[in-house]
Amino acid sequence: MTTVIAFMGAGSVVFTRELLADILSYAELRDDVTLALHDIDPERLETAEAIARRTAEQLDAHPVITASLDRRAALDGAHFVINAIQVGGYAATVRDFEIPAKYGLRQTIGDTAGIGGIFRALRTFPALDAIAADMAELCPDAWLLNYTNPMAMNVAYLGHRAPKLKVVGLCHSVFWTVHDLAELLGVPLDEVDYRAAGVNHQAWLLRFAHRGESLYPRLDALLENDPELRRRVRMDMYARLGYFPTETSEHSSEYVPWYLHHDEEIDRLRIPVGDYVQISADNVAEYEHTRDVLRAGEPLPLPERETAEYAPQVIHSIVTGTVRQIHANLPNKGMITNLPQGYAVEVPCVVDRLGVHPQFVGDLPAQLAAVNRGLVSVGELTVRAALDGDRRMVRQAAMVDPNTAATLTVDAIGALCDELTAAHGDLMPETLRQ
């Protein structure tokens, strides 16, 4: 049976290129797969199709490739749906930074929690509703592999709105954290044993060992002798909390109330305020460069090995029965016992022919669960605001956000939420616009 993989937001060309290269590198998929590409932007969709055909040609693979502006056409009969949409694109991201900055609110990435994460989620939920409804009709047994941020809010929202949908959130942060720490400590990555759990972009390395021996003492010694290494947010968090967070310092700085509203902390820890606006601009430039390379008929640079992205691995495991362990995001159904049930958590998972199976973690160390609950509370209120159509809950989500609450008065938070709601216009759920 031919495996059908639908790409929602295929115009995210850098990401799509990496996923396609990995998928078509598997012998079992390279000649027996249909790649159904969808995007709402005709030029980006055209570029994505060209990427797919050029990648297949360079890898001597023979997939069936389709491209459609019609989402339903791409979803019809799919076995896997990879979601990488960004509702509102670059312009919406800029609004999420420029408007809060007027109020004195600093952000770095703004895609997971905080004001940026809240409004990115609220823009995304209507699109998730549409995708879920189409999948229920056209491919009810398909797996939805979500990459779109804010990951935890999106997965939790779908858990409420489409409980029968087989959805799993995939993120590379755990893998790359371990990869970079292993490199820092001079330890071969394939000899490192690790296990993480928490919330997406704020999970924790509960186990980090080499040949049965914890690597934390070696990291402690390195930090003690390297004052410049200590000038990073997550190194600071690790030193204070005892477990290493699995997301970059830029991300981590805006999930807690301790750093961004102190000028001296921004300087001490070298925090790049507003960093994601430039990252987003760079992504646009990379898209344009890739488009021009394809139009000139030049070869595409392909990954020299499998990337850390999980979607190709999940697809391969379910299709072939190859057993793998990954870290993924699913609604909490008793996996982490001291975080709220139903909200999305990031835990170790086993993947096999039957799907993705989350593993029991139990209680997180108390201090880690306490920090996680800050993100969870923001997400729960944001999801509930959309489910109930309650604008007050949008404000309440912002009011309990650690960074926002540490920076703004409650009146300023209300005014900021109103201004962002008006600025995003009809991208917002209809019930939250008035």
Distance CA 201, CA 112 (A): 8
Chain center to CA of 102: 27
**Residue 16 is part of which domain span?**
3-169
Instruction: Report residue 91 as tokens.
Output: 């312009």
Is residue 284 situated within a structural domain?
no
Residues 31-34: contacts with CB within 8 Å, 24+ apart? 31/61, 31/62, 31/63, 32/2, 32/3, 33/2, 33/3, 33/4, 33/5, 33/63, 33/64, 34/2, 34/3, 34/4, 34/5, 34/63, 34/64, 34/65, 34/66
| Beta bridge pairs of residue 352 | 355
Q: In the prediction, which pLDDT does 48 show?
A: 93
Q: In the prediction, which pLDDT does 277 show?
A: 86
CA distances to 9, 88, 116, 162, 360 from 425, rounded to whole Å, are 21, 10, 15, 25, 42
The pTM is what? 0.96
Is residue 240 situated within a structural domain?
no
Helix axis angle for 13-23 and 311-320, nearest 10°, is 30
Assign 3 to helix, strand or coil.
strand
Is residue 55 situated within a structural domain?
yes
Q: Does the annotation count 262 as an active-site position?
A: no
Is residue 107 situated within a structural domain?
yes
Q: In the prediction, which pLDDT does 303 show?
A: 63
Is residue 146 situated within a structural domain?
yes
For 354, residues 6+ apart whose C-beta sits below 8 A from its C-beta are 318
Percent composition of the chain: helix, strand, coil (DSSP 3-state, to 5): 50, 15, 35
In this structure, what CATH number is given to the domain that contains residue 60? 3.40.50.720
Total structural domains within the chain: 1
Q: Which of 172, 179, 210, 261 is catalytic?
A: 172
Q: Look at residues 66, 88, 95 and name the one whose alpha carbon lies nearest to residue 78.
A: 66
Q: In the prediction, which pLDDT does 276 show?
A: 84
Q: In the prediction, which pLDDT does 36 show?
A: 98
Strands (E), 161-201: 166-169, 192-199
Sign of CA pseudo-dihedral 382, 409, 202, 363 = negative
Is residue 17 situated within a structural domain?
yes
Distance CA 261, CA 56 (A): 48
Distance CA 350, CA 361 (A): 13
CB burial class (10 A; 0-12, 13-18, 19+) of residue 362? exposed
For 163, residues 6+ apart whose C-beta sits below 8 A from its C-beta are none
For 160, residues 6+ apart whose C-beta sits below 8 A from its C-beta are 342, 383, 387
DSSP code at position 10: T
Is residue 262 situated within a structural domain?
no
Chain center to CA of 144: 14
> 10 Å Cβ neighbour count for 155?
27
The residues of the chain scoring below 70 in pLDDT are: 303-308
Assign 97 to helix, strand or coil.
helix
Is residue 211 situated within a structural domain?
no
Pairing of strands 344-352, 80-83: unpaired
Q: In the prediction, which pLDDT does 306 show?
A: 53
Q: Look at residues 234, 239, 166 and name the one whose alpha carbon lies nearest to residue 203.
A: 234
For the CA atoms of 108, 367, 408, 424, the dihedral, rounded to the nearest 10 degrees, stands at 50
Helix or strand holding residue 377 (H, E): helix 366-388
Distance CA 171, CA 205 (A): 15
Pairing of strands 324-331, 344-352: antiparallel
Distance CA 358, CA 166 (A): 13
| Beta bridge pairs of residue 348 | 327
Q: In the prediction, which pLDDT does 307 show?
A: 61
Question: Concatenated DSSP letters for 290-316?
Answer: HHHHHHTTPPPP--SS--S-SHHHHHH
Output the 3-class SS for 56-96: HHHCCCCCEEEEECCHHHHHCCCCEEEECCCCCHHHHHHHH
